[in-house]
Amino acid sequence: MPSVHALAWKRLRAVLCAAVAALAATSTLAPSSALADAHLGDRTLRKGDSGHDVRVLQDYLTRDGYRTPIAGTFGPMTLHNVKRFEKAHHLRADGIVGPHVAHALRSVAAQRAASRSRAAHAGDSGGGTGSQHLGQRVLKKGMTGHDVRVLQDFLTRAGFDTPIVGRFGPETLANVKAFERAHGMTDDGIVGPQVVAALRHQDAGGASGSHPVADAPVGHARLLSNGLAVAPSDAPAAVRAVIAAGNRIATKPYLWGGGHGSWNSSGYDCSGSVSYALHGGGLLSASLDSSGFESWASSGHGRWITIYTNAGHAYMVVAGLRFDTSGANPSRWQSELRSNDGFVVRHPSGY
């Protein structure tokens, strides 16, 4: 017959087990309900996370000039834009959104809103350097001011994501040149009346303005005579960014291995070209060779972007235009498609 001590120990053990089970159940259920109502800054966000606070993060990135699909999942494009925001605002560019990054995102959004409010009240009468309106002076590398911030905002809305920091630095210069090339202008990086008119015209959706080159037709990119591409009017931000990145290297020479050791190269091979353009759209974090693309992302044709690849070659079609080192003249962008026999067909998820 069990002793009194043995019976007491059994009762105590049963109570302890019940308590542990209850605690485990509570800890299992708590996070799911908490995360459903989580606010930006309540937890540290990183690639792979999802939830309402990720949506808020993507909204703030977009409002701060880094167009990001508000999908609720912290994917490659969100990671890319978080790092760019961190770098532009002198934070550690690790792609992790902690309290400091969340605070900076809110601060920049508030500053931009205040700046737009002041500009709206000021009308067109601003005279000082700090309050000038875009178009009142010619802008070039090294200049600062409110009109530079407006320039950077217009570039971002045109599909050339540019940190809105108020200083005309190297990234702004590169994007101005890319915009000029895409619109058939001399790519000198100088923002005069013609560039301003084109920026305002594109922002208005082509409904008004004096420059004749606007977005391409719905669903299909437009190929200019200089070999550069213009994004469709309904293209998602990531697709616009892929096209903009493709334009930056469209006329670069073919170089075996180019684009694999470094994103910046004097030339690019077939898979290096595709990798560079996808990276520019935030859809690829590291370059792949043609074999690597065979298992990348999703199988089959995409709505906007389709990659064709095999062991010896890779190219892609973006909004109806082929981006391919084979047959490139005068650039990698080509309106004529080619046979895809013998190629594996892949596309980035969602595109």
Q: Range with the lowest mean pLDDT among 12-21, 33-42, 95-104, 135-144?
A: 12-21
Which residues, in sequence order, are bridge partners of residue 323? Answer: 316, 333
Beta strands in 216-279 (DSSP E): 222-223, 229-230
Structure-block tokens of residue 334: 């080509």
Of the ranges 56-65, 183-192, 279-288, 314-323, which is most confident?
A: 314-323
For the chain, list the domains and their CATH numbers.
Answer: 39-123 (1.10.101.10), 130-213 (1.10.101.10), 229-347 (3.90.1720.10)
Give the model's confidence band at 119: pLDDT under 50 very low, under 70 low, under 90 confident, else very high: low
> Is residue 304 within 8 Å of residue 236, measured between CB atoms?
yes
Q: What is the pLDDT of residue 126?
A: 37
pTM of the model: 0.45
Rounded Cα distance, 187 and 104, in Å: 33
Q: What is the pLDDT of residue 314?
A: 96
Structure-block tokens of residue 178: 């890319």
Class of residue 86 by CB neighbours under 10 A (exposed 0-12, middle 13-18, buried 19+): buried
Q: What is the pLDDT of residue 41?
A: 84
Mean pLDDT of 27-43: 50
> Is residue 107 within 8 Å of residue 87, measured between CB atoms?
no
Query: For residue range 96-117, what is the model confidence (pLDDT) as tens digits?
Result: 999 989 988 988 887 777 666 5
For 57-118, the DSSP string reads HHHHHHHTT------SB--HHHHHHHHHHHHHTTS--SS-B-HHHHHHHHHHHHHHHHHHHH
Q: What is the pLDDT of residue 34?
A: 32
Mean pLDDT of 237-253: 91
> Is residue 26 within 8 Å of residue 87, measured between CB atoms?
no
Q: Is the pLDDT of residue 278 over 50?
A: yes
